[in-house]
Chain A
């Protein structure tokens, strides 16, 4: 699977948008970009995924650059409950997801 690079940590203010970057410069054409999060050692929680187009759901938006070498997860109105480790994962057409170290996001009041 293509490698992803994420910042180790970031802070954001409650009520503001949180923009989480991810680089995946070696991504290939059939690989999807997934975002999961893990709140305090709970099970990883699916957020969103996409291939080429930008995606939006009730939790977040995913913006993928045209060359697909990077993406941004946007949490539109961060709350304290969004404090978690966020994982950007590039996934081939196979069975498993491979987790990296992720970005530790702390939402501050």
Chain B
């Protein structure tokens, strides 16, 4: 079964450093998402992306965050200057289409630790 792949599985960085989290969505999917989950808290929506544009973003997704589809297969989340509070599990997801009847498939996540 096709799956969403995320790398790395764990990332440790120093506060103030830039990090790039990488995702390979399912190949025929056109809609891409990033979510995060701080330890012990809910899974939170960050951003959705379609046709090389951000479709929707949450309040969390401020100017420190950016997303990109640099080629035909990868989808990346960049955090420009990491803060301690950015420590979380980051999940990438993709869907074939959009709309209420379209399910999202999630990757296994990247655990980001900011020291």
Contacts and interface: CB of A to CB of B under 8 A. Distances in A.
Interface residues of B, number: 27
B45 A98 contact: yes
Interface stretch (B11-19, B71-79, B101-109): B101-109
A81 interface: no
A34 B103 contact: yes
A49 B103 contact: yes
Contact of A44 (B31, B56, B101, B106): B106
Central interface residue in A43, A45, A51, by most chain B CB within 10 Å? A43
Contacts of B31: 95
Does more than half of chain B's interface fall in helix, strand or loop, or is it mixed?
A: strand
B20 to A, nearest CB: 19
Interface of B: 4, 31, 33, 35, 37, 42-45, 48, 50, 55-56, 89, 91, 93, 98-101, 103-109
16 contacts: A32-B100, A41-B37, A41-B89, A41-B109, A43-B4, A43-B93, A44-B106, A46-B106, A49-B103, A51-B101, A94-B98, A95-B33, A95-B50, A95-B98, A99-B42, A100-B42
